[in-house]
């Protein structure tokens, strides 16, 4: 079972439009409403693969009730922590050329009692978990050290933990030695405090993040592929993608694929790349099913293209 923890979930509305013009009336071609938040997306991808998952998340107000309803409809077990504030609502505008514009609300502020209930719910639900995935930003009220505490408690209970966050929350959690962290290129650049322009830059940064405490780093480089840096080796994975419709949740789908395949080694990286590639070809934040995956399009190698320039340099 894969347990996910999403401290700042959302109700996500995605609109597909031909192009985005400031100051103009824009008519959407399609509209989707999905439960959102990085951990929520991991649970959705795990459930789409036919595996058991439990989602721990604080929920409040009408948006929170709708998130729980949508997750239940997808066969996801929800362990809600009721809060006084309303769950945030986010908007994404997906243009025909693949450009995505997102508007993310800040979310509610959790009280001290709500924070403790959240940690206690994670502890209670983690007894049967093979992996705990803690993902996303921290809501107002939670200290930057909250993820570090979650990692420590997970290890004390014998569970492996994957962490997908950024900024100060990531840096403070690294000394607690999460089993894997999953930054994108921008988050990796922020963690080491310098720009990344090549795959070699990303590899060096990932090795530095391991030096800060992470046992493994699964770095997403967008269209350029993914790096897995661990004690057992370094691998680089890429995939052919025919059409990009939306990259919302693609990184979360990758993390789900990685954990589903065991969470270590080249086979897990291949699964991560296949899930991420399938996700970008789907609308909104739709998570891929096994039928959407194309393992034949995936290449994993130990021959790292160090000099290859990143399509979108990170700073």
Angle (nearest 5°) at CA 289 between 137 and 147: 20
Q: Active-site residue among 224, 252, 267, 307?
A: 252
Provide the pLDDT for residue 23. 94
Q: Is the pLDDT confidence value at 128 over 90?
A: no
252 tagged catalytic: yes
Give the lowest-confidence range in 60-69, 88-97, 179-188. 88-97
Q: Which of 314, 300, 299 is nearest to 199 (CA)?
A: 314
In this structure, the strands spanning 216-220 and 226-230 are: antiparallel
Of the pLDDT bands very low, low, confident and very high (cuts 50, 70, 90), residue 157 is confident
Q: Is the pLDDT confidence value at 312 over 80?
A: yes
**What are 251-293's pLDDT values in tens digits?**
999 999 999 999 999 999 999 999 999 998 887 778 899 999 9
258 alpha-carbon distance from chain centroid: 11
Provide the pLDDT for residue 257. 97
Q: Scanning the structure block, which residue is given the tokens 């403790």?
A: 116
Q: Scanning the structure block, which residue is given the tokens 């071609």?
A: 29
**pTM greater than the 0.95 cutoff:** no
All domains of the chain, ordered by start, with CATH?
Answer: 2-314 (3.40.1190.20)
**What are 223-236's pLDDT values in tens digits?**
999 999 999 999 99
């Amino acid at each position: 079972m894969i347990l996910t923890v999403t401290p700042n979930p959302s109700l996500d509305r995605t609109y597909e439009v031909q192009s985005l013009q400031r100051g103009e009336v824009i008519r959407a071609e399609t509209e989707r409403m999905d439960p959102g938040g990085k951990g929520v997306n991991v649970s959705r991808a795990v459930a789409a693969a036919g595996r058991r998952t439990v989602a721990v998340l604080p929920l409040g107000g009408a948006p929170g009730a709708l998130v729980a309803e949508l997750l239940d409809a997808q066969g996801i077990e929800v362990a809600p922590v009721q809060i006084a504030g309303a769950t945030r609502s986010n908007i994404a505008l997906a243009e025909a050329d693949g450009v995505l514009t997102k508007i993310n609300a800040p979310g509610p502020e959790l009280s001290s009692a709500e924070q403790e209930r959240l940690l206690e719910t994670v502890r209670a639900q983690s007894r049967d978990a093979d992996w705990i995935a803690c993902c996303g930003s921290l809501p107002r009220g939670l200290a930057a050290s909250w993820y570090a505490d979650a990692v420590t408690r997970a290890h004390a209970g014998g569970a492996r933990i994957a962490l997908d966050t950024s900024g100060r929350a990531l840096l403070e959690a690294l000394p607690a030695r999460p089993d894997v962290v999953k930054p994108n290129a921008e988050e990796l650049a922020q963690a080491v405090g310098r720009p990344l322009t090549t795959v070699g830059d990303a590899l060096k940064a990932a090795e530095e993040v391991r030096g800060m405490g992470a046992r493994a780093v699964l770095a997403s480089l967008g269209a350029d592929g993914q790096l897995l840096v661990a004690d057992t080796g370094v691998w680089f994975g890429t995939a052919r993608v025919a059409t990009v419709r939306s990259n919302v949740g693609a990184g979360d789908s990758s993390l789900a694929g990685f954990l589903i395949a065991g969470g270590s080694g080249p086979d897990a990286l291949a699964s991560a790349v296949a899930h991420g590639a399938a996700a970008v070809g789907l609308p909104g934040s739709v998570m891929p099913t096994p039928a959407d995956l194309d393992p034949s399009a995936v290449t994993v190698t130990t021959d790292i293209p160090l000099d290859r320039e990143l399509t979108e340099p990170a700073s």
